[in-house]
Amino acid sequence: MDRQFLEFMGKLFLETARGQKQLEDMARWMGGGFGGLDEFTRMFRRFYGLTGQTPSSPDDARAWEKASEKFKKSFHEWLDLISAVPRSDFQHLEKKCETLEAEVASRDETIRKLRDLLSEKGLPVSDTVKGFTEMMEKQGRQFQELMENMGKAFKKG
């Protein structure tokens, strides 16, 4: 992580201790592309050495973009360091989990229906169908274990 990021975050946390509002403002500031809240923008410019430039110059725009990317990278490294997961990443995995759980449920239902059809007709379940069924059940158990482990990993932070 870069020195400016750590200084910025240190100053921010000291200021945040004085009121929860600043943390909410920071989230809004970052969500708005690092603009809109002059206090944060001034602090960001100061810590990233952007105070001597004219905000409308092309050099300032490039420096601003470079500093913001550096900040975002350091912010994600910091989240990783404290074992936090960005909400967007969590929501993406949560949606993927729901989709996979629905697929497993659908396959389980298909297997149940096929078994019922076979038993209604009095047909023996062949080794191939039995092997396929066991494979699907094993995949379902492995998926459940994966989801439980992912849930535990997210709860640690």
From CA 36, how far away is CA 99, in angstroms rounded? Answer: 37
From CA 49, how far away is CA 117, in angstroms rounded? Answer: 73
User: Is residue 88 predicted with pLDDT exceeding 70?
Assistant: yes
Map out the domains of the chain as residue ranges. Answer: 3-81, 87-156
134-154: pLDDT as tens digits: 888 899 899 888 888 888 777
Q: Residue range 61-84: average pLDDT? A: 86
pTM: 0.44
